[in-house]
């Protein structure tokens, strides 16, 4: 049986740190309000020379190094992003070319904050069906370029960054104790599409547009959606909350993360949290958090790692990975 095994991960954050106090000098907000409502203390904002492809490229290079894999061995570059360099071509082909990869395929996938889970599940399908052998799955976002910096209800939440993993098709017995992606479940419900959206685009306004959000509506649905899809992943694998070594949720908001973990019965010390330092980096948030927890020694080979995300669309999904 073929399974998609994670060989290594990497991440990249822009140098420029923006604290809550920095934002309070620009809009009517406070460090207290932001920390209490979201858990965010600071975030990184891309410099004028940085783009989704430059950040994704650096995260990809670090993931390749960690995996001990050369670009020549990659035949799939799958980038999750809602903030591409250009409307087309896909930003993934820029990263592919910069890495010197001439074989295989490269494309972008757009599922907003759920993008990384969607990309990982799609890469897993392509690897298991033999259409690729080794994939770079990247999440990279430059949300600072679609934020309305005068809107205090959104500008305090979102930020920039990138993360990546290298995933390889390997033969195994099919046992749940073997390494690899054990199961993924993806969902979307477009009836919620106007609760978190960008008010521009190539075929409507011809502009990039700005992010708009009904924060309370998002909050109301987030916990039940992510816990439902996690229960589906548990049902597909026979595992439960007590078996999880690490829970690496999308880093949108500390309150959503805590409420989801509590509802599922996942112990607090098993939850990886980086939202305090990175803010919500959309599709980049899970690989960023993974990279932090792998490099500080928490996530180790053989650990059972649960990933989940929910975002604009709404889209939502979960993956259970034997690391």
Taking residue 318's Cβ as centre, other Cβ atoms within 10 Å add up to 28
How large is the C-alpha radius of gyration of the chain? 18
The rounded distance, in Å, linking the Cα atoms of 46 and 58 is 13
Please list every residue from 166 through 195 that binds ligand ACO, using CB under 6 A. Answer: none
Pick from 61, 250, 277, 322: which binds ligand ACO (CB under 6 A)?
Answer: 250
- Asked if residue 215 binds ligand ACO (CB under 6 A), the reply is yes
With CB under 6 A as the rule, give the number of residues binding ligand ACO. 21
- Both tokens assigned to 110: 């757009």
Give the C-alpha distances (Å, rounded to integers) separating 117 from 90, 137, 158, 284.
Answer: 19, 10, 18, 10
- C-beta of 53 vs 280, nearer to ligand ACO: 280
Selected from 33, 35, 71, 209, the binder of ligand ACO by CB under 6 A is 33
Contact indicator for 106, 57 with CB cutoff of 8 Å: no
152 contacts ligand ACO (rule: CB under 6 A): yes
**Active site annotation includes 253:** no
* One residue of 102, 130, 216, 269 binding ligand ACO per CB under 6 A: 216
Asked if residue 29 binds ligand ACO (CB under 6 A), the reply is yes
Q: Does 311 bind ligand ACO (CB under 6 A)?
A: yes
Q: Enumerate the H helices of 81-184 as residue ranges.
A: 91-98, 115-128, 152-155
Examine the residue annotation and report whether 250 is marked as an active-site residue of this protein: yes
| From 29-37, 87-95, 185-193, 265-273, span contacting ligand ACO (CB under 6 A) | 29-37
Separation of CA 223 from chain center:
17
Q: Which stretch binds ligand ACO (CB under 6 A): 9-17, 134-142, 148-156, 298-306?
A: 148-156
| Residue located via tokens 């975002």 | 311
Token reading at 176: 């749940």
By CB under 6 A, what part of segment 59-78 binds ligand ACO?
none
Backbone angles phi, psi at 298, to 5 degrees: -70, -55
CA dist 109 and 117 (Å) reads 11
**Separation between Cα atoms, residue 273 and residue 113, nearest integer Å:** 16
Residue 278 annotated as catalytic: no
Q: How far is the CB of 137 from ligand ACO (least distance, A)?
A: 19
CB of 23 to ligand ACO, least distance (A): 8
List 113, 198, 273, 305, residue binding ligand ACO (CB under 6 A): 113
Catalytic residue among 20, 122, 253, 280: 280
Q: Determine how β-strand 160-171 pairs with β-strand 180-188.
A: unpaired
Q: CB count, 10 Å around CB of 39?
A: 19
When CB distances to ligand ACO are compared, the closest residue is 215
CA distance 147 to 254: 21
Compare residues 39 and 56 and give the one whose CB is closer to ligand ACO.
Answer: 39
Termini Cα distance of the chain: 17
Q: Is there binding between residue 159 and ligand ACO (CB under 6 A)?
A: no
> Which residues between 263 and 292 bind ligand ACO (CB under 6 A)?
280
Say how far apart CA 205 and CA 198 lie, in whole Å: 11
Catalytic: which of 9, 122, 192, 250? 250
From the list 4-12, 53-61, 249-257, 268-276, the region that binds ligand ACO by CB under 6 A is 249-257
Nearby residues of 265 by Cβ (< 8 Å), 6 or more positions away = 241, 242
Round to whole Å and give the CA distance between 139 and 177.
27
Q: Does 49 bind ligand ACO (CB under 6 A)?
A: no
**Positions marked active-site:** 113, 250, 280
Q: Which residues sit at the interface with ligand ACO, rule CB under 6 A?
A: 29, 33, 37-38, 113, 152-153, 156-157, 196, 215-216, 218-219, 222, 250, 252-253, 280, 310-311
């Amino acid at each position: 049986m073929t399974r998609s095994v994670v060989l290594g991960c990497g991440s990249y954050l822009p140098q420029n740190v923006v604290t809550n106090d920095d934002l309070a000098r620009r809009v009517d907000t406070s460090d207290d309000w932001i920390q209490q409502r979201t858990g965010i203390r600071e975030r990184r904002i891309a410099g004028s020379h940085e783009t989704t492809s430059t950040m994704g490229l650096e995260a990809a290079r670090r993931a390749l190094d960690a995996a001990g894999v050369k670009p020549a061995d990659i035949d799939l570059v799958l980038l999750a992003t809602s903030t591409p360099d250009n409307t087309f071509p896909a930003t993934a082909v820029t990263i592919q070319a910069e890495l010197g990869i001439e074989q295989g395929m490269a494309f972008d996938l757009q599922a907003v904050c759920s993008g990384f889970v969607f990309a990982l599940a799609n890469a897993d399908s392509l690897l298991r069906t033999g259409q690729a052998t080794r994939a770079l799955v990247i999440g990279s976002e430059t949300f600072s370029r679609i934020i309305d910096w005068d809107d205090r209800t959104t500008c305090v939440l979102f930020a920039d960054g990138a993360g990546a993993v290298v995933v390889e098709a390997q033969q195994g017995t099919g046992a749940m104790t073997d390494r690899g992606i054990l199961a993924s479940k993806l969902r979307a419900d477009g009836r919620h599409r106007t609760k978190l959206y960008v008010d521009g685009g190539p075929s409507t306004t011809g502009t990039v547009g700005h992010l708009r959000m009904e924060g309370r509506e998002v909050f109301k649905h987030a916990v039940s959606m992510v816990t439902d899809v996690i229960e589906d992943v548990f049902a597909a694998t026979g595992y439960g909350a007590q078996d999880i070594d690490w829970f690496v949720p999308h880093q949108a908001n500390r309150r959503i993360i805590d409420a989801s973990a509590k509802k599922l019965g996942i112990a607090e010390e098993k939850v990886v949290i980086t939202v305090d330092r990175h803010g919500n980096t959309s599709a980049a948030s899970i690989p960023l958090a993974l990279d932090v927890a792998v490099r500080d020694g928490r996530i180790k080979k053989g650990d059972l790692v649960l990933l989940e995300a929910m975002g604009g669309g709404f889209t939502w999904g979960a993956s259970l990975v034997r690391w």
